[in-house]
Amino acid sequence: MLACIGPFVFRRRRTTPPGVTAVGYARAQVPLLVVFAVVTLIEALLFLLLDLGPVVDTILVVLPGYSLLFTVGMLAATVVRASAVRVEGGELVLKPLFETNLVVRLRHPAPVSRPLGRTAAVSILRCYADEPDILLTAVR
């Protein structure tokens, strides 16, 4: 995540191999992450006003500084690392996303593996993409 800050600053995205469509999902998350970053920065500045001793003051500046770095890293990762969509042998490969603006109804239920190893049948795929028409074209 922190490794994405450099490419984010220089406006570079990850390249995708042939046959894979990159679908962005950052547009819905950027406002919330910017709010987190601003609140963390304000918090760090307010801690500078307190005089609780050099050790406590250092801790109260370093921790929000790390939180700010972490938040910027999350922001950079959502922008730089778009979801990779590919279809192989009738299988849709899509990273999990946080919001939904596209619903795909499957003709027949498809078996999926859950994180703890259990299986389930899925007939609807809900996902988010900045450009849902590009994702829909890649899925078809």
What integer pLDDT is reported at residue 96 of this predicted model? Answer: 46
Q: What is the pLDDT of residue 97?
A: 44
Considering Cα of 58, then 64, then 67, then 68, what sign does the dihedral take? negative
Task: Round to whole Å and give the CA distance between 104 and 139.
Answer: 9
Structure confidence at residue 78 (pLDDT): 79
- pTM listed for this prediction: 0.57
Residues belonging to the chain:
140
- Please report, in tens digits, the pLDDT of each residue of the chain (140 residues total): 777 777 777 777 666 667 666 667 777 778 888 899 899 889 888 888 888 888 988 888 888 888 888 888 888 887 777 666 555 555 555 554 456 677 788 888 888 776 677 787 878 777 777 778 887 787 77
Helices 30-49/54-80 angle, 10° precision: 170
pLDDT for position 118: 76
CA nearest to 136, candidates 103, 93, 99, 110: 103
Q: Considering only CA atoms, which of 54, 63, 8 is closest in space to residue 30?
A: 8
Beta-strand ranges (E) seen in 1-140 are: 21-23, 83-88, 91-93, 102-113, 119-127
| Tokens 């003709």 belong to residue | 107
- What is the C-alpha to C-alpha distance for residues 50 and 56, in angstroms, rounded to an integer? 10
Nearest-angstrom CA–CA distance, 64 and 58: 10
Give the pLDDT score at 38: 92
User: Cβ atoms within 10 A of the Cβ of 27, count?
Assistant: 15
